[in-house]
Amino acid sequence: MPLRARVRDVSEADRAAAAPGRSLYTPALVAGAVVVAAVLVVVNVAALTLGDAHPWLPALDFVLDLLVLGCATGYFVRQGMREDARAARMRTALDETQARLAAIVDTAMDAIITVNREQRIVLFNRAAETMFGCARDDALGDRLDRFIPIRFRDGHRAHIERFGSTGDTRRRMGGDVVLWALRADGSEFPIEASISHAGETDQLLFTVILRDVTQRKATEDALRQQQAELRELSARVLEAREEEKTIIARELHDELGQLLTALKMDLNWLRERIPTGELAEKVTQMNTVLDSTVGSVRRISSELRPLMLDDLGLADAAAWLVEDFTQRSGIECGFEKPEGEPLDGIERGVAITVYRALQESLTNIARHSGAAHAWVLLRLEDGALRLEVEDDGRGMPPASQAGSRSLGLKGMRERVHYHGGLLEVGHAPRGGTRVKVRLPLRADPAGGQA
């Protein structure tokens, strides 16, 4: 039967049990008693004054007195029996209510424990028996401390006292902190708990509802460990890519660049020795193509791994990247870097992460934003490196940040997170998108948030 229906049945039973008590002093009964009392008074007065002349009057008075006394005695005995029956029905209804409440508490899936002001257990349901491995009879009357690890007992008592003195009637315990409980066999396990209290100040009862979260915590820990391992693997893959890019960039710059330079020198030597004519024009065209090839090799090498990042530092490499972006995209881009605060000595991984974040942000602006202006801010702030890239384009909806086309953004987020930094992508005041990166100067692998 539903709880609401049970409560309704109990209330109706209480009203039915209380109904007989309402007829104890009805107006008709009071009026009849007044009339009988008046008749007795008249008969008694007549018997006293006229008894000598009429001997039957005293006898009549005696009979009436006995009759009234008998009726009154019978009435009150009957009323007493009815009150006893009513009390018995109320006790039965109360017992049924308590039994139903006990059944509800006892069949709850969560452990429910109620303690008094001295923190002695007065209620211990079946789920609590299973959770703590302790029989109810052993727990009742004992202190709640037996189910709390020793290192947490003082804090728990203080928490209960503070909670009882506040106006709150219920509260989730622990907040984001994992709570620990103690089984009868001495083993500890994590729990989730909420507490409530009821009653007067000197008779407060505290009820704690507990849930064993061992399995959930183990799952969360395993998931957290897997995420850390995936981030570690992702970081290693990114590092391996950076190393490969560095090798390829140096090969292009050193080997292929030298070969192209030698070829250009030979071509110039040949052009000086060929007279004007069709052959000379062909050599000139070859020289133009060779210049274009040299420029392409330098551009590809710089995109793979900007050697100036190693040679000149992050600030100059970022300035070159912004200048190259402006020339190639036609989008006017302002660049603000720290004045008098050199960015030398920054850890290599941090510098690469910031450079790649700037590179990816500028690439997104050129491809997707439709902006006319962009702004880049790079500065040192409270022991961290801060990068902001903003544009006045169409912006990036939040849904698109999780789309399949946002792999560059996801890779950037993983890079920043791995080095203990924070990355935020949001709406810019000028209407476009703003990317904010904050990285500690010394990398803290897998210790950040993004």
Task: Find the helix packing angle between 278-304 and 257-273, rounded to 10°.
Answer: 170
Task: Find the helix packing angle between 214-250 and 278-304, rounded to 10°.
Answer: 150
Location of structure tokens 């049945």: 9
Q: Would you state the structure tokens that stand for residue 73, as one six-digit string? A: 């005695």
Q: How far apart are CA 427 and CA 378, in angstroms?
A: 19
- Strands 188-198, 433-440: pairing is unpaired
SS3 203: helix
| pLDDT reported for residue 24 | 53
Kindly give, in sequence order, each residue whose CB lies less than 8 Å from that of residue 65, ignoring residues fewer than 6 positions away: 40
Per-domain residue ranges of the chain: 3-106, 111-212, 220-305, 308-450
Q: How far apart are CA 397 and CA 391, in angstroms?
A: 14
- CA angle, 243 then 249 then 252, to 5°: 145
Q: State residue 423 phi and psi, 5-degree precision.
A: -125, 130
Neighbouring-strand partners of residue 195: 171, 208
Cite the DSSP H helix spans in 277-405.
278-304, 307-311, 314-329, 348-364, 398-401
Residuewise pLDDT in 10s, the chain (450 residues): 433 343 344 444 444 444 444 455 567 767 777 777 777 777 777 777 776 677 777 777 677 777 777 787 877 788 788 888 888 888 888 888 877 877 888 888 899 999 988 889 999 999 999 999 999 999 999 999 999 999 988 888 888 877 777 766 556 766 667 889 999 999 999 998 888 888 776 778 888 999 999 998 899 999 989 988 887 887 788 778 878 887 887 788 778 888 888 888 888 888 888 887 788 888 888 888 988 888 888 778 777 776 677 777 888 888 888 998 999 889 999 998 877 666 667 888 888 888 888 988 998 898 888 889 999 999 888 888 899 999 988 887 665 665 545 667 777 888 888 888 899 988 888 888 999 999 987 655 554 443
| pLDDT reported for residue 212 | 92
Cα 197 to Cα 178, 201, 208, 214, 257: the distances in Å are 22, 10, 9, 26, 80
Sign of the CA dihedral with 370 first, then 375, 381, and 384 last:
positive
- Amino acid letter, 166: T
Fold (CATH) for 308-450: Heat Shock Protein 90 (3.30.565)
Kindly give, in sequence order, each residue whose CB lies less than 8 Å from that of residue 196, ignoring residues fewer than 6 positions away: 169, 170, 171, 206, 207
Q: State residue 115 phi and psi, 5-degree precision.
A: -125, 160
Neighbouring-strand partners of residue 210: 111, 193
**Total count of residues recorded for the chain:** 450
Q: Specify whether the CB–CB gap between 193 and 174 falls below 8 A.
A: yes
Query: Residue 334 — left, alpha, or beta (φ > 0 → left; ψ -120 to 50 → alpha)?
Result: beta
Fold (CATH) for 111-212: Beta-Lactamase (3.30.450)
Kindly give, in sequence order, each residue whose CB lies less than 8 Å from that of residue 47, ignoring residues fewer than 6 positions away: 57, 58, 60, 61
Global pTM? 0.53
Radius of gyration, alpha carbons of the chain: 46
- Amino acid letter, 1: M
Q: How far apart are CA 367 and CA 434, in angstroms?
A: 15
SS3 236: helix
Location of structure tokens 């006893």: 84
